[in-house]
Structure 1
Amino acid sequence: MRSKDRISYFYDGDVGSVYFGPNHPMKPHRLCMTHHLVLSYDLHKKMEIYRPHKAYPVELAQFHSEDYVAFLQRITPDTLHLFSSDLARYNLGEDCPVFENLFEFCQIYAGGTIDAARRLNNQLCDIAINWAGGLHHAKKCEASGFCYINDLVLGILELLKHHARVLYIDIDVHHGDGVEEAFYFTDRVMTVSFHKFGDMFFPGTGDVKEIGEREGKFYAINVPLKDGIDDASFTRLFKTIISKVVETYLPGAIVLQCGADSLAGDRLGCFNLSIDGHAECVRFVKKFNLPLLVTGGGGYTKENVARCWTLETGVLLDTELPNEIPDNEYIKYFAPEFSLKIPHGHIENLNSKSYLGTIKVQVLENLRYIQHAPSVQMQEVPPDFYIPDFDEDEQNPDERVDQHARDKQIQRDDEYYDGDNDNDQNMDD
């Protein structure tokens, strides 16, 4: 066992102030709620808190096409009319609307995941958390399912510079299709997604038969579930499959996407998981003592998202949290019970024992094909992505900071204040 995990946590208050629109289920405000809840439990005192750098376009283009990144950079609600033909091409519209500060939002959440991967690579921490990340549907050249930039793919590419094999685990209620697709042809990343499948449920992919192709054959694992799965069946299946995956694949690092839309009562979900059941998966993955990058993801009942990711921050810190929520800026959202845990739901569980048994057998059977971990030839590790020199006069002085200084740039003091409003913070510290 490691003596005590060193944990880096990434957060920028600006990420929670963007607004997808009045009827859109994605509410980035849930990230402010999560952060304030983390602070109210004093968890920030047990970890290092960093404000992520805003990912440069050239960093985003490590995975995404340059024309798509350039488009995201240019498009604003005011310039929509100039780009009408491109909107359909890049899949922006109802699900993925254009809103104020869209590109900056992408830069912040992607920057957090990239920074998290770099700190792990440089052995500056054992676990890195970016609850703003986990936007697993975005594709190389298009937005999808409320996701514009795929921070997970960018983080995994960063980890691959130091690790021969990276394991990606996804417990969002939706299939992690963007990450799976990015690594479908390679054995250097194994993707494992537990998700609802069938009934035309978004994104429609993730059948147990999708296993990867060419060098990546058998390195994509899908665990398709039906409505109403409960804690006991979910965690049993999760532990059986993940322990076998880790034993067989021997990853050097793990990326865990903790989408909270798999919780009972989610606005878009259909599972019966309690927060304890969801967190049990996080606790189990932590026990492997491998470098671990943890992100958020979906989650559309925002007070439950905040509860879940706060409790899981506690799990990662080995800290038991009292069930009564301490006073904080968003306390009214947790009425009437003001408790951290939510019970499991009451949707009928359509996952019969025989159905789950069949899925388990198929997955374990596929794992037998890679019984011996692939021998990836390790090349010399490339340097951390080189950021080109910019004209200093044109640069925002806040962003002209080298990596060493940025690493020391712990969270702004004012973001600890209980009474501060995220939208009108005092910037002069």
Structure 2
Amino acid sequence: MNNKKPCYIWDEKLIEECDRLPAVTGRATMIHNLIEAYDILKHVTVVKSSLATYNDLKEFHSELYLDHLKKFTDVQDDYMTTAEDEECGIGYDCPPVSNMYGLVSTIAGGSITAARCLILGITDVAINWCGGWHHAHRFGAEGFCYINDIVIAIEKLRRKFPKILYIDLDAHHGNGVQDAYNLSKSVFTLSFHKFEPGFYPGTGSIDDIGTQGGMGYSCNFPLHAGYGDNTLVYAFERVFSSVYTQFIPDAIVVQCGADACGQDPSGGANLTHKSYSKCIRQVLDKRKPTLLLGGGGYRHDNTARLWTSLTALVAGVNLDELIPDHSHWLEYGPDYTLPLDATLVKDMNKSSYIEECIEKINVSTELFSTQKLPSNIVYTGFLCVVQPSNQSIVE
């Protein structure tokens, strides 16, 4: 990378709206305050977030879904979801909230702003910890995610960067993003996640490699419970290098979900900041325009620790292990230190299993060079359209 400062997306409204998300209430403020307490902001370019427009959101989501979200203006505690709500994914894991359209416009706007920083060449690395909602689908919410800001940001990036590599480090498979690009060969999706019976969302097996024209352009590394730093770093080093060499992206997007950290109530993994940092460092070493996004992370103090550490890594700042005194300081007890510690949970991933996965993935990546597209199919990201044979392919 050159000497451009990384861009850090921030706005009071963005933080306030992200704080309202039911699954991570108050988390955004805690993260930003820790980054601010460490005085990292003077080493980055702070960029004010802007709202996403209706047309921005339509680049992925259906008008039917977006228009339904506009109906939630003032949601009372006794609100009963309707059949139409449930068709749009509003209910159990994505409960309705007031001014829902404003919420999704604000959150998506943060990731769009970050993408624009890369498109305009203001920076080589843009960060939006309020983004990373990878489960939302075109027609509805899912898995705590009301909007798929990732896909919308990728669509913006594709206007300048034809080939995008998407990497997902969340404990849960990024099904919404993969599904959006399942037919595409311009966006490669690479996910490292926990894959166990009954673990949400139940997708992302080793054999899930995309379909039709996108076959070979999705890669999933399904990990067993308790995977730790050594397992992830070993797997990442071998798979990322192979995928990068075969695909040669123009830009990279990384979802840095923190729920794979040890002690997270929803993750079931056992990572620390060390493995995340090593993975991100490998990505940055490729010197490609890079977008870093948040995602899961349901133990808020550890999520703040991780994303503050990654912000410092990108900014080239060394941080003191002792957390500075600030408004959330008491929530970092009992040790009040920044580094994350692994737990004593056993890593259920045997080396033979990891090697087997790497071998299978290496075979699937060979599809890049051997794949031949049917001459009468148009691949446009979200749609597959069969045309008469005398029409050309548009990608």
Q: Work out whether the TM-score is over 0.5.
A: yes
Which of these residues, 44, 60, 84, is aligned with residue 63 of structure 1?
60
Q: Distance in 2 between matches of 1:372 and 1:38?
A: 46
Q: Distance in 2 between matches of 1:349 and 1:315?
A: 27
1:264-305 Cα offsets, whole Å, 9 max, x none, are: 000101111112222221122111110000000000000000
49-58 vs 161-170, which moves further? 49-58
1:175-228 Cα offsets, whole Å, 9 max, x none, are: 000000000001000000000112210001000101011110100000000001
Q: Cα gap change, 1:326/1:373 in structure 2, threshold over 3 Å: closer, same or farther?
A: farther
| % identical equivalent positions | 34
Pairwise CA distance, 1:161: 0.7
Which of these residues, 271, 278, 281, is aligned with residue 279 of structure 2?
281
Q: Which amino acid aligns with 2:274?
A: D
Which of these residues, 28, 32, 35, is aligned with residue 35 of structure 1?
32
Q: Distance in 2 between matches of 1:174 and 1:325?
A: 29
Q: Does the aligned pair in 2 maintain the 1:15–1:28 contact within 8 Å?
A: no
CA-atom RMSD in angstroms: 1.9
Matches within 5 A, 1:287-302: 287-302=285-300
Q: Does the aligned pair in 1 maintain the 2:257–2:297 contact within 8 Å?
A: yes
Q: Does the aligned pair in 2 maintain the 1:17–1:28 contact within 8 Å?
A: no
Give the secondary structure class of the aligned counterpart of 2:239.
helix
Matched with 2:387 is none
Q: Distance in 2 between matches of 1:7 and 1:16?
A: 19
Matches within 5 A, 1:233-252: 233-252=231-250
Give the secondary structure class of the aligned counterpart of 2:140.
coil
Aligned length: 371
Q: Does the aligned pair in 1 maintain the 2:4–2:122 contact within 8 Å?
A: no
Matches within 5 A, 1:13-412: 13-18=12-17, 26-78=23-75, 84-371=82-369
Give the secondary structure class of the aligned counterpart of 2:301.
helix
Q: Distance in 1 between matches of 2:166 and 2:370?
A: 19
Q: Distance in 2 between matches of 1:244 and 1:335?
A: 41
Q: Cα gap change, 1:81/1:263 in structure 2, threshold over 3 Å: closer, same or farther?
A: closer
Q: Does the aligned pair in 2 maintain the 1:307–1:341 contact within 8 Å?
A: yes
Q: Cα gap change, 1:282/1:74 in structure 2, threshold over 3 Å: closer, same or farther?
A: same
Pairwise CA distance, 1:373: 11
Q: Which amino acid aligns with 2:66?
A: V
1:121-159 Cα offsets, whole Å, 9 max, x none, are: 111111010000000000000100000110000011111
Q: Distance in 2 between matches of 1:358 and 1:211?
A: 16
Pairwise CA distance, 1:51: 2.1
Q: Does the aligned pair in 2 maintain the 1:257–1:296 contact within 8 Å?
A: yes
1:368-413 Cα offsets, whole Å, 9 max, x none, are: 22148999xxxxxxxxxxxxxxxxxxxxxxxxxxxxxxxxxxxxxx
Q: Does the aligned pair in 1 maintain the 2:6–2:125 contact within 8 Å?
A: yes
Give the secondary structure class of the aligned counterpart of 2:191.
strand
Matched with 1:12 is 11
Structure 1 unaligned segments of length 5 or more: list them: 376-429
TM-score (norm 1): 0.83
TM-score (norm 2): 0.90
Q: Does the aligned pair in 2 maintain the 1:227–1:350 contact within 8 Å?
A: yes
